[in-house]
Amino acid sequence: MTLPETMRAVEITQPGKPEVLKLAARPVPQPRPGEVLVKVEAAGINRPDVLQRMGNYPPPPGASDIPGLEMAGTIVALGEGVSDWKLGNAVCALVSGGGYAEYCTAPAPQCLPIPKGLIAVQAAALPETFFTVWTNVFDRARLAPGETLLVQGGSSGIGVSAIQMATALGHRVFVTAGTAEKCRACELLGAERAINYKAEDFGAVVKEVTGGRGVNVILDMVGGDYVDRELKCLADDGRIAIIAMLGGAKATISLNEILRRRLLITGSALRPRPIEFKGAIAKALHERIWPLIESGKIRPMIFEAFPLSEAAAAHALMESGRHIGKIVLTV
């Protein structure tokens, strides 16, 4: 297959509002050793893309300056040393940048086959949120059989993935969301109780639905003054995994609560982690979660798809907070 020399890609012309995203011609990237080149059919939109566009989340050294942390399509070239994949394989992949384009390179270990029964647009919505939930909820926070999970922001892309993954693995899941419609959507996906944080005290509701014990693990995208409130609704030996700070980067917390009840606060950012680390997550997802997707117990939640040329509109929707689930670009 002869590849073109140039491709369409979305550039961040300068830090700013969604309209700084513009289509441009870029050279088609070449796969380095250990990488594959994917002809992209769809790319997921994620909150870090918005932060990068604003100038607040620069790509790590060596990564593409084109936004986009996940995509799906067909492998059209193999870098030196790649033996696990073949030309023509349909894959989705977690990448450090470059997804908003017609072609994108990906480290081979960070690729996963598109689950049977899904199309590329659905598969493009999987990697970023599924890798993030797996590493934070199941690896770092060690959600164990029989334990309960509270997800802050249940209607977000991360939220709908966490609800489905934890429910499919047999856990009781509670969530917060900001409207009655979003709460209903979360409960339809499997959340036992969705708490409208604008009308209810999530801490009080959590204590009520757990018989006063509290939850074992909290997935927190808010930070700020939520953290101290979360400590109070954890069960003894409970864990908080922080993955974003939409409510602020600083918190005042009760150390007495942590000492007395052996609580743990952890957090992580996935983008700068090494390929080997992300490859191990991919293997765990393929073994534990992909069969649940293929059986229909977990399904990607696509709220809206935009053509690549309308990346600015997709970002505007992400910032509006109106969406339930994922927003994707089609190429």
CB 298 within 8 A of CB 147: no
Summarize the confidence of residues 264-287 as an average pLDDT.
Answer: 96
The pLDDT assigned to 155 comes to 97
Alpha helices in the chain (DSSP H): 47-53, 120-123, 127-133, 157-168, 180-188, 202-209, 226-232, 255-261, 275-288, 290-294, 311-320
Residue 132 has a pLDDT of 98
Mean pLDDT of 260-282: 96
Examine the pLDDT at 259 and tell me if it is beyond 80.
Answer: yes
How much is the mean pLDDT over the chain? 97
Q: Is residue 242 part of a domain?
A: yes
> Does residue 2 or residue 219 have the better pLDDT?
219
pLDDT more than 90, % of the chain: 99
Q: Does residue 1 carry a pLDDT above 90?
A: no
Write the pLDDT tens digit of every residue in 177-202: 999 999 999 999 999 999 999 999 99
Q: Which residues of 50-89 are buried (b: 16+ CB within 10 A; e: fewer)?
A: bebbbeeeebeeeebebbbbbbbbbbbbbbeebeebeeeb
Claim to verify: residue 247 and residue 184 sit in the same structural domain:
yes
- Tell me how many degrees the CA angle 26-31-33 measures, rounded to the nearest 5: 150
Amino acid at site 20: V
| 263 in the same domain as 134 | yes
Contacts of 138 (CB under 8 A, 6+ apart): 284
* Same domain? 42 vs 134: no
Instruction: Quote the domain boundaries for residue 142.
Output: 130-267
User: What would the pLDDT profile of 36-49 be if each residue is shown by its tens digit?
Assistant: 999 999 999 999 99
- On whether the CB atoms of residues 172 and 149 are closer than 8 A, the answer is yes
Per-residue model confidence (pLDDT) at position 89: 98
292 within some domain? no
143 and 45 in a single domain? The answer is no
Shared domain check, 117 and 37 = yes
pLDDT tens digits, 120-138: 999 999 999 999 999 999 9
Let me know whether 150 and 221 are in one domain: yes
Distance CA 144, CA 136 (A): 13
Do 142 and 241 share a structural domain? yes
Are residues 263 and 135 both part of a single domain?
yes
Average pLDDT over residues 20-49: 98
Q: Are residues 101 and 175 in the same domain?
A: no
Provide the CATH number for the domain around residue 106. Answer: 3.90.180.10
User: What is the percentage of the chain residues whose pLDDT exceeds 70?
Assistant: 100
> What pLDDT, on a 0 to 100 scale, did the predictor assign at position 82?
98
- Confirm if 89 and 75 have CB atoms less than 8 A apart: yes
For residue 275, being part of any structural domain is answered with no
Among 224, 247, 267, residue at a domain's last position: 267
Average pLDDT over every residue of 55-61: 94
Indicate the number of domains in the chain: 2
- Residue 291 forms part of a structural domain: no
- Taking alpha carbons only, the member of 35, 28, 114, 118 closest to residue 74 is 114
257 and 142, same domain (yes or no): yes
- Quick one: average pLDDT of 209-232? 97
